[in-house]
Chain A
Amino acid sequence: MSASGFLRFPAPLTRRCMVPWGLWLRERPALLSPGTAVTPAQMAGRKDRPALLSLDESELEEQFVKGHGPGGQATNKTSNCVVLKHIPSGLVVKCHQTRSVDQNRKLARKILQEKVDVFYNGENSLVYKDKREAEKKKQERKKRAKETLEKKKRLKELWESSKNVQGERSADSD
């Protein structure tokens, strides 16, 4: 998903494809541009955290490598790669995860959404927050494991030393 992939396509293929609304009817994202300040309360999302800022379709430029030609039955293309550019930030995502153009378009939007979030929110982006949380949990687990290990070690030492004391006592009693 590098920018160089975007440059690979010749200019005539570039087209600003407005997504027909019908296509997104069933999972239509809220329209918010990144510049809008939105409080977590305004964004629908999971209970524990706000959802990612949605992308504004009018700020996206999309390319499908369909090439020229009539399309439909008259063409058989397998190049279902989708290249999606977020114009305000210049971020580009190239998605060819699935064999379906439709699926790749949806995935590209998801990936771009996260990239845009990081771009504008940096440290405060959801992606970073998730990462920090995961890292934090990992550190906590490590710490607990270390503590458990040390406890065991101390217990062992105690037991060892009490053994020695008993040994000396029995020696003394001789």
Chain B
Amino acid sequence: MECWGRMLRAFLSGPGRRGATWGSAYSSWQPHRPVPGLLNATELVSHWTAIFEKEGIPEAQESSEYIVAHVLGAKTFQSLRPVLWTQPLTPWQLQCIQELSSCRLQRMPVQYILGEWDFQGLSLKMAPPVFIPRPETEELVEWVLEEVAPRPHAVGAQGGPLILEVGCGSGAISLSLLNQLPQSRVIAVDKGEASICLTRENAQRLRLQDRIWIVPLDVTSEGSWAHLLSWGPMDLVVSNPPYVFHQDMEQLAPEILSYEDPAALDGGEKGMDIITHILALAPRLLKDSGSIFLEVDPRHPELVGGWLQSRPDLSLHLVAVRKDFCGRPRFLHIRRSGPQRGCPVHAWPGPQPARVPG
């Protein structure tokens, strides 16, 4: 990614460096250089907002505010100490803002530009092409916490609950659950190597690595999940699986199409491919009355309900549908009912794995 190269050079070289390596970078953003003179944060935000608007960059003001705030060490512009709004910026700060803004001009998502984003009160590292957590997904975590908190789980040598996350991405869901459920343990799987690495890194940054197992795994791949059984039956399966309808993929914004992994988004023809795989394997991994929590497309509650009815062998039923803060049906709670059919878990051979961090 061209933008990453530029940003890396900016941070390594420091202020004042000129020369051939900067040539191409400079020529593309020289027209946007602010008028020389002492500029403060507020003026810089106005300056870049105007440029973004002119270039058709969505969320012109928000983008500009986040970038300037970030360079000044704050998470949002509003949370900056007011005195900083009117203080002149240093040449180094101006240069950083220039660099980051040029990435925005290439439609890079703000979260990748900043290299971090917040989720459920945690600060997570972000890196393309790993999927950026969406604000709706915070509500998925809230719902899981509500359901789990009142029910004490078997706390023995192992602690609980034991949670499986399918498609962990940056680790947002897993790590926020671990953070708010101090006794919980999580198995986080993803088929993308970049996701595995990023989740590991975020787990270590947040010092949660002792309670999470991060496993490269493609749940759609036949039999690949079988070794998960050796961890024992799980209390919960949580997922924000790729659920975009394939035909809708091309309509996604350039921010998404050009930078995020399409495999994290594309759910196939009716956006159901990964969802149905998760639902098919869940009964074999869950305890009796274990739960599945999913984030889905607003068209899915009906489709999933219908699909579950066509699969009575799974012993799953749709318990509840919950809306997101924009009023769209977004989250499903599905429960497994009754004992497992076929091979019960305790018949599977295999020792409990040693507690290996990460």
Contact = CB atoms under 8 A, between A and B. Distances in A.
Nearest to A23: B142
A28 to B, nearest CB: 11
User: Interface range on chain A: under 10, 10 to 19, 20 to 34, or 35 or more?
Assistant: 20 to 34
A89 interface: no
A49 to B, nearest CB: 28
Given A15-B327, A78-B62, A78-B111, A96 B134 contact: no
A76 B134 contact: yes
A17 B324 CA distance: 10
B136 A71 contact: yes
B79 A17 contact: no
A101 B138 contact: yes
B130 interface: no
B135 A100 contact: yes
Given A22-B146, A71-B328, A96 B77 contact: yes
B295 interface: yes
A23 B139 contact: yes
Contacts of A20: 322-323, 325
Contact of A17 (B119, B248, B325): B325
Interface in A70-89: 70-81
10 contacts: A20-B323, A64-B325, A70-B297, A73-B243, A74-B252, A74-B256, A78-B59, A79-B59, A98-B75, A102-B135
Interface of B: 59, 62-63, 66, 75-79, 109-111, 117-121, 131-132, 134-136, 138-139, 142-143, 145-146, 149, 240, 242-244, 248, 251-253, 255-256, 260, 264-265, 295, 297-298, 322-328, 330
B132 to A, nearest CB: 6
Given A72-B297, A72-B324, 16 more contacts: A15-B327, A17-B326, A70-B298, A71-B136, A71-B328, A72-B328, A73-B240, A74-B265, A75-B134, A76-B111, A76-B253, A96-B77, A98-B79, A100-B118, A100-B120, A100-B135
Contacts of B121: 100, 103
B105 to A, nearest CB: 16
Contact of A99 (B76, B255, B298): B76
Nearest to A1: B78
Nearest to B265: A73
Nearest to B142: A23
B87 to A, nearest CB: 20
A169 interface: no
Contact of B326 (A64, A96, A98, A102): A64
A110 interface: no
Contacts of B242: 73
Contacts of B327: 15, 17
A17 B325 CA distance: 7
B110 A98 contact: no
Contacts of A66: 326
